Structure 1
Amino acid sequence: MTYSRRFIVCGLAGLYLSGCQSGAATQSTSRPATGSAMRAAPNAAFDRWVEGAKARAKARGIGASTVDRAFRNVGYLPGVVERDRNQTEFVRSFEDYLAIAASDDRIAKGRSMLRRHASLLSQLEAKYGVEEEVIVAVWGLESRYGARRGDVPVISALSTLAFDGRRGRFFEGQLMAALKILERGDVTPDRMTGSWAGAMGHTQFIPTSYLAYAVDFRGDGRRDIWSDDPTDALASTAAYLSRSGWRTGQRWGDEITGRAPSGRGRVVTPAGANGPVFEVYHNYSVLGRYNNAQKYIIGVGHLSDRLKGRPALRGTFGPDGNGLTLQDRKALQRGLTRAGFDVGEADGVIGKKTLQAIEAFQHARGLPVTGTPSRSLLSLLG
Structure 2
Amino acid sequence: MRNFSTTHFLPGAVLLAILSGPQQASSQPAPAPVRPAPARPAVAPQPRPAAVPRPAAVPGEQPAARPVATAPRGGAACHNGMSFDRFLSELKQKAVAEGVSQRAMAEAAPYLVYDQSIVNRDRGQRVFGQVFTEFSRNRASDGAAKNAQARIRMHQAAFNLAEKEYGVPPAVIAAFWGLESSFGAELGKLHTLPSLVSLAYDCRRSEMFQKETIAALKIVDRGDLTASEMIGSWAGELGQTQFLPTHYFNYAVDYDGDGHRNLLSSAPDVIGSTANYIANGLKWRRGEPWLQEVRAPQNLASSFPWDQADLTIKLPRSKWAQLGVTFADGKPLPNDDLPASMLLPMGRTGPAFLAYANFAAYTEWNNSLIYSTTAGYLAARIAGAAPMRQPSAPVAQLPLNELKELQQLLVRAGFNVGKIDGIMGQLSRTAVKTMQIKYGLPADSWPTAELLARMRGPRAEPAAAVMPQAR
1:310-325 equivalent positions in 2, closer than 5 A: 310-316=385-391, 318-319=393-394
The structure with more helix, counted as a fraction of residues: 1
Alignment of structure 1 residues 173-192 onto 2, 5 Å: 173-192=211-230
1:128–1:242 contact (8 Å) kept in structure 2: yes
How far does residue 239 in structure 1 lie from its aligned partner after superposition? 0.8
Q: What SS does structure 2 have at the residue aligned with 1:273?
A: coil
Work out whether residues 13 and 32 of structure 1, in 8 Å CA contact, stay in contact via their aligned partners in 2. no
CA–CA distance in structure 1, aligned partners of residues 395 and 343 of structure 2: 22
Q: Which amino acid aligns with 1:16?
A: P
Deviation, structure 1 residue 36: 4.8
Q: Choose from 251, 255, 275 the match for 2:289.
A: 251
Partner in structure 1 of residue 233 of structure 2: 195
Equivalent residues of 1:157, 1:197 under 8 A apart: yes
Amino acid at match of 1:271: M
For residue 235 of structure 1, the aligned residue among 249, 252, 272 is: 272
Structure 2 counterpart of 1:293: 368
Displacement, 1:41? 2.4
In the TM superposition, residue 48 of structure 1 has moved relative to its aligned partner by 4.7
SS in 2 for 1:21: helix
Aligned to 1:282: 357
The counterpart of 1:131, out of the listed 144, 164, 169, is 169
Quick one: which of 23, 41, 55 aligns to 2:68? 41
Aligned partners of 2:274, 2:378: CA distance in 1, in Å?
Answer: 16
In 2, the alpha carbon distance for the partners of 1:284 and 1:269 equals 14
SS of structure 2 residue aligned to 1:204: coil
Corresponding residue for residue 21 of structure 1: 18
Q: How does 1:210-221 map to 2 (within 5 A)?
A: 210-221=248-259
For residue 279 of structure 2, what is the amino acid of its counterpart?
S
In the TM superposition, residue 131 of structure 1 has moved relative to its aligned partner by 0.8
Structure 1 vs Structure 2 CA RMSD: 2.8
Alignment pair present for 1:171 and 2:213: no
Task: Provide closer, same or farther for how the CA distance between residues 32 and 165 of structure 1 changes in structure 2, counting only shifts above 3 A.
Answer: farther
Aligned with residue 188 of structure 2, among 141, 146, 150? 150
Tell me if 1:140 matches 2:183: no
Please give the secondary structure, in 2, of the residue aligned with 1:196: coil
Contact 1:186/1:224 (<8 A) preserved: yes
Task: Please state how far the C-alpha of 1:39 moved relative to its aligned partner.
Answer: 6.7
1:224 aligns with 2:259: no
Q: Distance in 2 between matches of 1:14 and 1:165?
A: 27
Among 248, 272, 287, the alignment partner of 2:347 is: 272
Structure 1 residues 120 and 317: CA distance shift in structure 2, 3 A: farther
Q: Say whether the 8 Å CA contact 2:342–2:354 is kept in structure 1.
A: yes
Number of matched pairs: 309
With 63-72 and 284-293 compared, the bigger mean Cα shift is at 284-293
Q: Which residue of 2 aligns with 1:352?
A: none
Matches of 2:159 and 2:386, distance apart in 1: 22
Taking structure 1 as reference, are residues 104 and 39 closer, same or farther at Cα in structure 2, changes over 3 Å only? farther
What TM-score, normalized by structure 2, do the two folds share?
0.60
Which protein has the larger Cα radius of gyration, Structure 1 or Structure 2?
Answer: 2
Q: Determine the C-alpha separation between the residues in 2 that align with 1:11 and 1:213.
A: 26
The percentage of counterpart residues that share the same residue type is 34
Q: 2 CA distance for matches of 1:77 and 1:317?
A: 49
Per-residue deviation, residues 214-248 of structure 1 (Å, max 9, x unmatched): 11112222111112x21111111101112133223
Report if the CA contact (8 A) 2:292-2:380 is conserved: no
With 267-276 and 70-79 compared, the bigger mean Cα shift is at: 70-79
Q: Is the 8 A contact 2:119 2:202 kept in 1?
A: yes
Alignment check: 8 A CA contact 2:64 2:189 kept: no
Residue of structure 2 aligned with 1:81, choices 119, 122, 130? 119
CA distance in 2, matches of 1:292, 1:145: 21
**Structure 1 runs not aligned, ≥5 long:** 24-30, 323-382
SS in 1 for 2:18: coil
